[in-house]
Amino acid sequence: MADPQPSTAGRPAVVRSVAGVVLTSLALAGCDAPPGNFPAGAVDRVRLLATDTVPAEWLTSGRDFGETRYSPLGRIHVMNAAAVGLAWEYEWRSHVGTVHWGLEATPVVVDGVMYSPGPWGSVAALDAETGEPVWRYDPEVDPSYARKGCCGPINRGLEVWEGRVYVGTFDGWLVALDAASGEEVWRVDTFLDRSLSYTSTGSPQIAGDVVVLGNAGGDFGVRGYITAYDLATGEERWRFYTVPGDPALGFEHPELEIAAPTWDPDSAWEGGLGGTVWGEMAYDPVLELLYVGTGNSYPYPIWHRSPSGGDNLYLVSILAIDPKSGRLAWHYQTVPAEIWDYTATQNVILTTVEIDGRARDVLLQAPKNGFFYVLDRATGELLRAENFVTVNWTLGIDMETGRPIPNPAADYRDEPRVVFPSSAGGHNWQPMSFDPETGIAYIPAREQAMLWRSLDEFDHRPQVAYEGFDATWPPFPEEYAHLAEGLPDIGPNEFLLAWDPVAGRELWRVPRGSMWNGGTLVTAGNLVIQGTAVGTLDFHQADSGERLHGIHLGSGVMAGPMTYMVNGVQYIAVMAGYGGPRGAAYPLGSAAYDYESVGRLLVFKLDGGEVPLPPPQVPPATPEPPDLEPDPALVRAGAELFGVHCSICHRASDEHLSAYPDLRRMEGGAWESFDAVVLGGALAANGMAAFGDLLTLEDVTALRHYLTSEQRRLWELESAADVREPGGARDR
């Protein structure tokens, strides 16, 4: 590693005056779509490099090649933000199943057309001024893949390039669509083994003359990789594996031979080891480097994964890859030998900052582990690394070596430990934004601890999220509560954070009242805009954090907003629809707890109207349980099976609702068809895949006993409270 730069004192944020905002707005008065008639989807290298000269457009998920999520538009600003209202909406119903799947992407706008990704890898092309459909693409997906994902069949982005739209489908196909018609130009299978629990949720990335796609599924025991395809034909150009396979079988490319000594020769090769690439990538068209963040390990505990230890390259790393050859230019591993699910798949931002009086072209990332990294994007040199939330997994980052200093108090191999941050991270996938004018980043951040306990043994279970540990979110069980004594607030506490990456310091924070809030957008109007889990779109003053305006949506937001201009009108768009981090669980206090979680694309402008609210959520009453006397042993076995196979989707509880049926409240007909649904896939067309390859009839019997026991408990509680009468606890 090159010599790191010494740390410097903090610098003040640049504060925009109201006069400056107004002047910016006036200067942009003529900056609508560029002159001339462009063909549909006309994005290329020249246009992408000149993004700031035409601020009306939003050409990538993050607007520009740096993926900053900053817009120079300023017609909506601190003085008039309170006048923003609805311009139009588009309801994003999936053509697969009956559930309103979550929406987690940011649309792209090119020459007055919005290209919006939806569930399963569907795409809608819409008139960006009116919302009128231009075309709609719905892939023919395999509904059985719904069971293979951790978080529903969501999609986090698409690319528009030289007249085509590139999108990955949830079941692993990379598709090139004609931007004018939506017709398929080519379609290629990106999965190596469809018997494994691979899914595809991330956005493709254009990098020179190739388009690159990764995959998800690291928690289910797969091996991470990315693949590059020819833009014109879909022909495979190269594949880069993020972790090695069994060395006895050879190495697919030289980087794996370099990585192999960082793994035990007897590692858990059969489990794939993880390292999946499911987040946002970025490409520097000047340096011609592709930047890729890699995911967590599988299994999490290194003593089960790589018993003799080692750094385990290239888990939780930032990789810089030459897209012409597929060879690695440099890498930086954020957490060597990671054991806490600290993915480095969070969005990366390419920008230029001044460090020690010198302009540096840098890469910014705030991954799950709670540190904000500033790297030289040509060399990978570590320039800054400061924690932006509470951490205790490390004692700090050694700036000489770039390595974290181990903290024995976070090692849960031999005894339970409380560790900051939790596996949800100090920052999860919801994108942060960066204002290159002020040098400030805006992070949807979280402070939360997690109680970790290792399992004595680990046995790989294909297609099951079983990673060799037991972990608990706060509040902790009473017998472990003492482990949190003397520690900071264990949370969860989520907030919008303004962070100076060069000074490595917090400028302000705004607490949020619920978990899993959305990504951020920052604009020249001195605004930071963020959707929330409680169902609002909030406008904050970027230099102070003051909340200026909130629009009640009735739908939780996890996605990042964007902004564009058509015919002199500035619009702000956001995808609203709460998918949930582990299935569709809607916590008390979230919008989806109060309203049906209808997925919508909502677009706003000055002097717009009210947002129509979704229908209210009606919590179901519990039917009388079936005539079955639960056997305690079968109840225990069923509870374990439910936790492993079912709770990822059907995890309704006394504190949560779910987009999926609450199996504790099944009617008689559902009980009668239970075996056929679970084992035979009778509802596969609705996204409820068959589990006959993973469960036996005896297993389903145990599930019946567990669910009957739960239904009886709820029935008795509700009967005792007389909640079926008006004014009861369930009456709204």
Active-site residues, by number, are 341
Distance CA 608, CA 610 (A): 7
Q: Please check whether residue 258 is in contact with residue 291, taking contact to mean a CB–CB distance below 8 angstroms.
A: no
3-class DSSP state for residue 484? Answer: helix
Distance separating the N- and C-terminal Cα atoms of the chain: 61
What count of other Cβ atoms lies within 10 Å of the Cβ of residue 271? 24
Cβ within 8 Å of residue 607, ≥6 positions away: 83, 85
Distance CA 431, CA 238 (A): 28
DSSP state string for 243-295 = S---GGG--SSHHHHHHGGGS-TT--GGG--B----S--EEETTTTEEEEE--
Residue 300 region by backbone torsions, left for phi larger than 0, else alpha for psi between -120 and 50, else beta: alpha
Chain-centre distance of CA 475, in angstroms?
24
Distance CA 134, CA 114 (A): 9
Cβ within 8 Å of residue 608, ≥6 positions away: 84, 85, 86, 87
Torsion on CA atoms 198, 200, 202, 207, rounded to nearest 10: 100
Q: Please check whether residue 572 is in contact with residue 529, taking contact to mean a CB–CB distance below 8 angstroms.
A: yes
Q: Minimal CA–CA distance to 560: which of 117, 135, 80?
A: 117
Distance CA 117, CA 107 (A): 7
DSSP state string for 524-582 = TTTEEEEE-TTSEEEEEETTT--EEEEEE-SS---SPPEEEEETTEEEEEEEE----TT
What count of other Cβ atoms lies within 10 Å of the Cβ of residue 352? 12
Which residues, in sequence order, are bridge partners of residue 98?
A: none
What count of other Cβ atoms lies within 10 Å of the Cβ of residue 477? 8
DSSP assignment letter at 624: P
